[in-house]
Each structure stands twice: as structure tokens, then as C-alpha cells.
């Protein structure tokens, strides 16, 4: 059984929180587009305590194979120290989750308005 402290770093629980934060952000700017969503996701990840505090990023990374998977990304350099790599993984996971949540809201808004993106 997980303790409350361990649940704090459960990735599914974190994703729910990120989705709620994205919905709150979207309510504040319901006209945002995908570029603005990307910028907002970067700002969100850069300022999150689970990204900026080493012990917290270690805890998130340790609890989630999904977050650990970001270690295989292009940005992760083999000569980075382990804490920098872990923080990068957590940053990328937070950024992706926030951006995906915002993009889903943007898509829903556009679908509801009858605006469909142009196929490339």
C-alpha cells in the first residue's frame, strides 16, 4: 500500500493535476492557439516545484517509468550529470502533459465552433 507521501509522486496522480492546471489556464485565455499552448507548457514546466527541486524531481522520476523514458530523448546528453538528466526528464514530461492537455482543449473548442484544422 502506498503512503500519502508516495502517492504525491505517482505519475497518474500528477497527470490529473496537470490536466486540471491546464484547464484553469485555458479558462484564463480561451482564445489561445497551439503556439501559445507550447509557450504556456514551457513556462508551466519551468516553474513547477517537481522540476526545479532536485529531491522532488528524483522522486517523480523514480516513481514513473514513463518519465524515465524521456532519458532516451535527443536533449538528454550522456555526459550530463544524473540530476540534470533526471530534471530534464521530469521537465519534458510536465511540458508534454501540459501541452497535450491544452491542445485537447483547443481542439474541443475548435470542433465545438465548427472550425476544423486544415489538413497538411
Indicate the domain borders of the chain.
4-112
Q: Given pLDDT bands bounded at 50, 70 and 90, which one contains residue 26?
A: very high
- CA nearest neighbour of 48 among 59, 34, 63: 59
What does the pLDDT look like over 44-68, one tens digit per residue? Answer: 999 999 999 999 999 999 999 999 9
**Can you give the pLDDT at residue 6?**
57
* Alpha helices (runs of H) in 1-120, residue ranges in sequence order: 4-7, 11-28, 34-47, 49-52, 54-63, 65-68, 82-112
- Of 1-5, 52-56, 80-84, 114-118, the poorest mean pLDDT is in 1-5
DSSP code of 12?
A: H
Question: What's the whole-number mean pLDDT along residues 90-118?
Answer: 88
The number of beta carbons lying within 10 Å of the beta carbon of residue 31 is 8
Q: What is the pTM of this model?
A: 0.85
Q: What is the dihedral of CA 25, 27, 33, 38, to 10 degrees?
A: 10
**Can you give the pLDDT at residue 8?**
85
The proportion of the chain whose per-residue pLDDT surpasses 90, expressed as a percent, equals: 72
Amino acid at each position: 500500500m502506498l503512503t500519502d507521501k508516495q502517492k504525491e509522486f505517482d505519475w497518474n496522480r500528477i497527470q490529473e493535476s496537470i490536466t486540471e492546471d491546464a484547464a484553469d489556464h485555458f479558462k484564463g485565455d480561451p482564445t489561445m492557439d497551439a503556439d501559445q499552448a507550447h509557450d504556456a507548457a514551457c513556462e508551466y514546466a519551468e516553474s513547477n516545484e517537481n522540476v526545479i527541486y532536485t529531491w522532488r524531481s528524483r522522486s517523480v522520476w523514480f516513481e514513473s517509468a514513463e518519465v524515465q523514458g524521456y532519458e532516451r530523448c535527443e536533449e538528454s546528453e550522456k555526459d550530463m550529470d544524473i540530476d540534470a538528466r533526471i530534471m530534464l526528464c521530469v521537465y519534458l514530461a510536465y511540458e508534454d502533459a501540459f501541452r497535450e492537455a491544452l491542445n485537447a482543449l483547443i481542439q474541443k473548442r475548435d470542433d465545438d465552433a465548427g472550425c476544423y484544422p486544415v489538413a497538411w
